[in-house]
Amino acid sequence: MKDHFEMFAAYNRWANEALYAAATTLTPEEFGSNRGAHFGSMKGTLNHLLCADRIWMRRFTGAGDAPAALDVILFEELAALEVARKVEDERIADWVAGVEEESLGQNFTYTPITNPQLVTQKLGSAMLHFFNHQTHHRGQCHMILTSLGKPSLTLDLVYFQRFAGKQWL
């Protein structure tokens, strides 16, 4: 399983780079325009992804800043958000590289923001959610881009494996 999580961390970085490259084609008005996604705009959705990743990484590692809500706008401007995203993606990849295989089956306890009741689950299943959540919201960003008339992105995991992550074929 650890190898899969290392692949997901690399895929996450790769997909975010493609998404942010596409987002740079947006005007500031388009970046902030509500397109009906759960967090409204590209700005809201990309900020949510960074918020959620920081929250989960704080849970996983016990370190780092974590917002107190899922809809915090950490960065108004795309350029600053992109820098923070790259830093967080490296942090994620570094952390995953240090995770011991046997720890994936051990219990992990945290308190969700949305319902402050302790939750205990296997670390590996929490990590699966962590990476799946990113994919889910990148899909919403893809919808935002296409609703604004921008080209469709190819973000499939198998596309990453074929071209940038061949070691996971």
pLDDT tens, residue by residue, 47-75: 999 999 999 999 999 999 999 999 999 99
Question: Residue 107: what pLDDT?
Answer: 98
Question: Residue 89: what pLDDT?
Answer: 98
Question: Residue 131: what pLDDT?
Answer: 98
Quick one: CA dihedral 42, 47, 50, 56, positive or negative? negative
Question: Residue 63: what pLDDT?
Answer: 97
pTM here is: 0.97
141 near 41, Cβ under 8 Å? no
Q: What confidence tens digit (pLDDT) does each residue in 84-103 have?
A: 999 999 999 999 999 999 99
Question: Residue 163: what pLDDT?
Answer: 96
pLDDT above 90: percentage of residues in the chain: 100
Q: Residue 69, class by beta-carbon neighbours within 10 Å (0-12 exposed, 13-18 middle, 19+ buried)?
A: exposed
pLDDT band at 36 (very low <50, low <70, confident <90, very high): very high
37 phi/psi in degrees, rounded to 5: -70, 165
Measured CA to CA, the distance from residue 10 to residue 20 in angstroms comes to 15
137 near 93, Cβ under 8 Å? no
pLDDT band at 38 (very low <50, low <70, confident <90, very high): very high
Q: At what angle do helices 78-98 and 2-23 cross, to 10 degrees?
A: 170
| Residue 162, both tokens | 């074929």
User: What is the length of the chain?
Assistant: 169
Question: Residue 41: what pLDDT?
Answer: 98
